[in-house]
Amino acid sequence: MAIPEGGFFPDEVEYGRYGPIFPKTPACYGFTIVAKIIPGREEVFREHGRTIEKAVKDQPDILAPLELHYLRWVLFEIKGETYFMYQGIFDTDFDKYTEDAVALFSQSGISTVFENLEGFPADWKTNPPAFIEFVRAHHCPSFLEYGEYPYVSADEIKKSLRVKYLVSQILDQMQ
């Protein structure tokens, strides 16, 4: 699905509480946040990766309420400066559940890494609107998104896997 510049389809813009809602595409909802990191903080980001890995290991359903498919964290360089790209693909409409997502991000430690980005509001924990504004300002909407299994939710995928597992058990029982 090709997406117009700016990220919205002008004729069918739906209004959320914090502005127009980025549309769902065959590749679900998602965001791509790109921001410059505070120089010298690369190692904080890598350490953060290990922290999140451990958090998920200790509590596998910690991110469940976000209804995620994938999250990707990337560091890259332009002209000697380091940038951070954070890309999420999920079924929850982030624009709609913004405060809940921010709360979850804080609880699970996902957002602490944002403190190492330039321009990130220092009072983000007590000022969700400022956090939301930062995210909206640094989101780069896709101009094209593709899904090999369009519009399928993570929940449906998990259900299918469960059915597959149950069917194979049934077949085993019939041996």
Catalog residues that contact another protein under the rule CB under 8 A: 15-18, 65, 91, 93, 96-97, 99-100, 103-104, 123, 125-128, 153, 155
Least Å distance, CB 75 to another protein, is: 29
Instruction: Yes or no: say if 4 and 10 are a contact pair by the CB < 8 Å rule.
Output: yes
DSSP H helices, the chain, are 42-58, 98-108, 128-138, 154-173
Instruction: Yes or no: say if 68 and 90 are a contact pair by the CB < 8 Å rule.
Output: yes
CB nearer to another protein: give 19 or 39.
19
CB nearer to another protein: give 16 or 109.
16
Q: Which positions ≥6 away from 139 have C-beta within 8 Å?
A: 7, 22, 31, 32, 33
Least Å distance, CB 99 to another protein, is: 5
Least Å distance, CB 96 to another protein, is: 5
CB nearer to another protein: give 15 or 58.
15
